[in-house]
Amino acid sequence: MSGIGHNSGLSVEPGHSWRKHVWTKARRDLLPVLPIEVVRLRVKRAAELGLPYKTYAGIRASNGHDLIGFLFSSNALRVLRDGQALPADRADRLDRLVNTARHALAHRPVTPTHLAALPAIDRAFAAPRFTDSWSVMRRDLNAITAELRQPGDRFVLVGDTDFEREWVAAARLAGYVSAEAFFT
């Protein structure tokens, strides 16, 4: 395909290989070089959070902060009504988290009181409703992180639906991990 502004994929200008070398070196020099002890600490922290190092490093690189915990939707926890216990695989996975906050967001008809009573959950809050506008969703999620006295970018959302994925942008959370990826 050719047209205005298209270079046909080839550079015929003199000095192309030199410019390519200089740009490659400049890009390599921009990448951070971390001391081995820092890398070891980050690998350990990823293990405490129960995340693969690559996922943890990507989230940390995108916001520049360490993670302090998770927000789990009741869908991701597989708790769909009050009185229902946390499935054993979910409870085991949450119990293995170290130095990590484990908060839950309850979709109706599940109540925050029920989720907060589960042994593996630190605190629980009402999840945004499907009918909420973007601004209401943002306001409610920001109120949750304000109550936790932490910025949203210190939490990763573990969710199970595309609707829940929108919460990450609304509350400026650190990232999203699907329930399937987190619990398997």
Say what the pLDDT of residue 3 is.
59
Give, to the nearest 10 degrees, the angle between helix 134-147 and helix 162-171. 70
List the chain domain ranges: 65-183
Res 12: pLDDT? 62
Q: Where does residue 178 rank: exposed (0-12), middle (13-18), buried (19+ CB within 10 A)?
A: middle
pLDDT of residue 9: 57
Q: Does domain 65-183 have CATH number 3.40.50.1000?
A: yes
- Looking at residue 16, its pLDDT comes to 79
Tell me which residue of 25, 36, 123 sits closest to 72, measured CA to CA: 123
pLDDT of residue 13: 73
Please give the Cα distance from 25 to 29 (Å, whole number). 6
| pLDDT score recorded for residue 7 | 56
State the residue for tokens 């029920």: 114
Q: How confident is the model at residue 88, as a pLDDT? A: 95
- So what's the pLDDT on residue 106? 97
Give, for all 184 residues of the chain, the pLDDT tens digit: 555 665 555 556 778 788 888 888 876 776 567 788 888 999 999 999 989 999 898 888 888 888 999 999 999 999 999 999 999 999 999 999 999 999 999 999 999 999 999 999 999 999 999 999 999 999 999 999 999 999 999 999 999 999 999 999 999 999 999 999 999 8
What are the respective helix, strand and coil percentages of the chain, to the nearest 5?
50, 15, 40
Tokens 């600490």 found at: 41
- Rounded to whole angstroms, the Cα distance separating 42 from 89 reads 26
Q: What is the dihedral of CA 108, 91, 86, 141, to 10 degrees?
A: -10
Structure tokens at 130: 């499907």
